[in-house]
Structure 1
Amino acid sequence: MGKFVKFLGRCALNGKQIAVYENGGGSFRLSAETVGGKPVFYSYRDERGRSHTVAVRDMELSADEFDSFEDRVSAGVVGRSDARIVQRGLIEMGYPESME
């Protein structure tokens, strides 16, 4: 799993958070988790109207990619503790923008 580094945004949004793990060799894994440590799921309907429930996929990033990701989701935020960071990060990881 790697060594836990921090929660991106240093908070949870509606019980969801992004855990950052260092994999070694300078790479990082971002994992969308509930405050209980379980995967974050969301549901959607396909073009035929069938409902599907899937987990937000983990992201594997190099150190440079992680720095760029963190800068992008933190843009316009004062400090590093803000739920907007979590929201933007979850959306970039594939969670629907509606956050429902």
Structure 2
Amino acid sequence: EEGVKYAENWNKDQAILQQLKAQVDAFCIPNAQVFDSAVRDKTVKPKVKISSVKQAEGNHPAVLMCSAYEFYPEKIKVSWLRNGEVVTTDVTSTMEMADGD
């Protein structure tokens, strides 16, 4: 109830509202833009690990797994290449797992 009383009084006082708006315009908005840019404009290359999950046996090929960690931004495209060409057959992808779990 005390907070409601303060809010009602402040909302009625145009001088206080103008002062607070000026503070937001002078300090909050410019700093938010700087901090936002500092975060959004950064990229971190992924750490990549390739491992053999299953060895080749007879007519069955080996199974390889590629894992990517600690990258930003979170969207990533991973492709397998054979002789410089993207491999699209016999490839399985999984959804991302939070925190590498």
TM-score over 0.5 (shorter chain):
no
Interval of TM-score (by shorter of Structure 1 and Structure 2): under 0.3
Larger RCO: 1 or 2 (CA < 8 Å, sep 6+):
1
Kindly name which structure, 1 or 2, has the bigger radius of gyration based on alpha carbons: 2
User: Greater strand share, 1 or 2?
Assistant: 1
